[in-house]
Amino acid sequence: MRTDDFSFSGYKTAVLRHARNSEPRIADKSLRDLLSSFLGAVTDYLLKKTVEAVKRLNVKSVVVSGGVSRNSLLRKKFAAKCAEIGVHLYLPDPAFCTDNASMVAWLGYEKYLAYPNLNYFDFYLNSYSRATFREGTKHR
Domain borders along the chain are 9-122
Higher pLDDT, 136 or 111: 111
pTM of the predicted model over 0.75:
no
Q: Nearest 5 degrees, angle CA 133-CA 139-CA 140?
A: 150
Tell me yes or no: is domain 9-122 CATH 3.30.420.40.
Answer: yes
Q: Where are the beta strands (DSSP E) in 1-140?
A: 61-63, 88-90
Higher pLDDT, 66 or 62: 62
Q: Nearest 5 degrees, angle CA 32-CA 33-CA 37?
A: 115
Q: How many CB atoms lie within 10 A of CB 74?
A: 19
Backbone angles phi, psi at 131, to 5 degrees: -70, 145
The pLDDT value given to residue 140: 42
Q: Is the pLDDT of residue 99 over 80?
A: no
